[in-house]
Amino acid sequence: MTNLPISYIKPTVLMTNLPISYIKPTVLMTNLPISYIKPTVLMTNLPIRYIKPTVLMTNLPIRYIIPTELMAVHTISHHLPLCLSFQSYSGQGGGGGGGNGAGDEDYEIPPITPPNHAEPSLLHLMDPESGYLCHSLGAHHNGLLNPYSYQELPALMMSNMLAQEGHLPSSQMPSIQEMTRHDGSHYDLSRHNPHLINMSPRILSHQPMSALSQLNSQVGRSALTHGSPSPPGSKSATPSPSSSTQEEETDSHHKMTGEKRPSSEMMKPKTKPQKKKKKKDPNEPSKPVSAYALFFRDTQAAIKSSNPNATFGDVSKIVASMWDSLGEEAKQGYKRKTEAAKKEYLKALATYRATLVTKNYNDPVETKSIQTNQPSSHMMPPNPPLYSVPPQPSSPYSLGPGGFPLSDMQGYAGATRHALSRTLSQSQMLPSISASPPSSFQISPPLHQQLSMHQNSLLNQPIRMQHGQSQPIISHQMGLQASLHSPPPGQQGFSHLQSEYHKSVGSQSPGAPNPGGRQNHEWESEYCDRECGGNHCSGSMIARDKPLYLT
């Protein structure tokens, strides 16, 4: 990116309905709507910095050049802070300035004769204000966010950021909104108009001024990366059925000017491989959302409310900018949430897979799909999710006993209520599972047992298999010992999960059990004393010949 003067935008393009993508890429980097380029700038080779920044948030197609705007020639005082990236003007119209590579041909700029009348439907777009809104960004940006807790940040940041990116004071934001609202009502910008300037909030990217905020400098990354604000594959660059005429126009334009079309890389929509969304088991716990996703979720609403016409792309860009500007502490706050969610997810996933294994063992026909790790919706009964996982950032994937639908759990419990108590106490249990039973545990021990069963089936799959075969107790014990010493291949499927879980939860769990699961054993004994009069767990394994698994 060099300092290309505005004169490098071909006036012939301006006069046509060519999409912005046909304008020189280097110019595109500015994301400035053509409509706000003053003809006098074009004529007199004024630097691009004189372009009004207030339109940065809009998506005005080229053809909506406002004559009156074009007619209005404002003089800008040079002491105003520079708003845009082009600080220096190099070269007179077609005079060879700014050329920094293949795309920087010189252009002869014929005089532009603006229409005398604005298109009536476009009159609303006329900007009554004559001032150029260049506010020194660096003056307040960095210190702006600090006083606020990160919970407050999204809204605060958004308002400030919008103001900053548009170089607008907050008080002028409504004008932008109004403008975009008008846009939306008159021209469906993003979806139906192929002649669309793909406006990106990441505009002020190449601001060489050190005074520019960190936000803007960070914002620039994307623009640089993409090489164009109208990235390949974006809707604005995607040829539409109505674009054939436009393409012809463009072709002729290219012929006329000798200009190469923008590189095919820029024009050609990136051939996205058809991504197939695999069917997901509705019972499968959803992955924990990333910190950024949490932030997005928190922020987008405020952005949308302040900028109702913002498309998802706009919102994404804004959120990204805000994320970049987000303080490390705030990010950490989100990351902590993510970490917590991840732990819960691992718990839920372990439980989920355990249920899958159990279920599929009882339904061997479907075991194949389990082993190929391709859970499908038909694998599980059409029950509601066994472990409801509300996507709340604060308490995602709550897995407490209260979180289990009792009916579902009982569906698994049934006759196996006593099944795995001792097995659980003997085997290594997941920390949180074997932690001190929650208060509700005594009310509903089967829940705990059931959960434990799931965990056990996860960690000691061979045991489950032997139980499932209703082997005599002696076999079960042998199987247990064997499994404890040498995990058979069947367990490998979960080994990573187990290790990951321990890594993630392990020592951090407040109720982390001792390896022997003594705690669990205690409550188990207590429960069994009441439940089965001690026959179940008091040493005799006789009671264990009850069905251990669903049969």
Partner DNA sequence: TCCATGATTGTTGTA
Partner DNA sequence: TACAACAATCATGGA
- Give me the residues that bind DNA (CB under 7 A), please: 191, 198, 200, 202, 221-222, 226, 231, 233-235, 238, 269, 272-279, 286-287, 289-293, 296-297, 300-301, 304, 312-313, 316-317, 319-320, 323-324, 331, 335, 338, 342, 391, 496
Q: How many helices (H) and strands (E) does the chain have?
A: 22, 0
* Shortest Å distance, C-beta 340 to DNA: 12
Q: Which is nearer to DNA, 172 or 316 (CB)?
A: 316
Distance, in Å, from the CA atom of 527 to the CA atom of 537, rounded to the nearest integer, reads 9
Q: Which is nearer to DNA, 361 or 494 (CB)?
A: 494
* Shortest Å distance, C-beta 232 to DNA: 9
Tokens found for residue 430: 């997941």
Backbone φ and ψ of 475, nearest 5°:
-65, -40
* Shortest Å distance, C-beta 483 to DNA: 24
* Shortest Å distance, C-beta 331 to DNA: 7
* Shortest Å distance, C-beta 170 to DNA: 23
Contact 200, 58 (CB under 8 A): no
* Shortest Å distance, C-beta 448 to DNA: 28
The continuous run of DSSP H or E covering 154 comes out as helix 153-165
**CA nearest 170: which of 181, 162, 182?**
162
- Inter-axis angle of helices 445-459 and 328-362, nearest 10: 90
Q: Provide CB contacts within 8 A for 100, sequence distance 6+.
A: 2, 26
Q: Which is nearer to DNA, 6 or 215 (CB)?
A: 215
Distance, in Å, from the CA atom of 466 to the CA atom of 361, rounded to the nearest integer, reads 11
Distance, in Å, from the CA atom of 471 to the CA atom of 478, rounded to the nearest integer, reads 11
* Shortest Å distance, C-beta 200 to DNA: 6
Q: Which is nearer to DNA, 79 or 272 (CB)?
A: 272
Tokens found for residue 471: 């082997």
* Shortest Å distance, C-beta 290 to DNA: 4
Residue 112: Cβ within 10 Å count: 16
Q: Which is nearer to DNA, 44 or 217 (CB)?
A: 217
Q: Which is nearer to DNA, 214 or 362 (CB)?
A: 214
**What is the DSSP secondary-structure string of 479-507?**
HHHHHHHS--HHHHHHHHHHHHHHHHTGG
* Shortest Å distance, C-beta 117 to DNA: 31
Distance, in Å, from the CA atom of 113 to the CA atom of 136, rounded to the nearest integer, reads 34
Q: Which is nearer to DNA, 78 or 278 (CB)?
A: 278
Q: Which is nearer to DNA, 230 or 483 (CB)?
A: 230
Q: How far is CA 338 from the centre of its chain?
A: 13
Q: Which is nearer to DNA, 12 or 200 (CB)?
A: 200
**CA nearest 27: which of 309, 266, 320?**
266
* Shortest Å distance, C-beta 123 to DNA: 25
* Shortest Å distance, C-beta 293 to DNA: 4
Distance, in Å, from the CA atom of 455 to the CA atom of 424, rounded to the nearest integer, reads 8
Q: Which is nearer to DNA, 8 or 323 (CB)?
A: 323
Q: Which is nearer to DNA, 192 or 518 (CB)?
A: 192
Q: How far is CA 190 from CA 9, 52, 69, 314, in A?
A: 22, 22, 23, 10
- Which DSSP letter does residue 262 get? S
Q: Provide CB contacts within 8 A for 332, sequence distance 6+.
A: none
- Which DSSP letter does residue 440 get? G
* Shortest Å distance, C-beta 256 to DNA: 29
Contact 291, 389 (CB under 8 A): no
Q: Which is nearer to DNA, 275 or 485 (CB)?
A: 275
Place of tokens 């014929």: 110
Burial bucket for residue 25 (CB in 10 Å: 0-12, 13-18, 19+): buried
The continuous run of DSSP H or E covering 225 comes out as helix 214-226
Q: Which is nearer to DNA, 3 or 234 (CB)?
A: 234
Q: Which is nearer to DNA, 255 or 276 (CB)?
A: 276
Distance, in Å, from the CA atom of 114 to the CA atom of 37, rounded to the nearest integer, reads 12
* Shortest Å distance, C-beta 222 to DNA: 4
Distance, in Å, from the CA atom of 155 to the CA atom of 151, rounded to the nearest integer, reads 9
* Shortest Å distance, C-beta 19 to DNA: 13
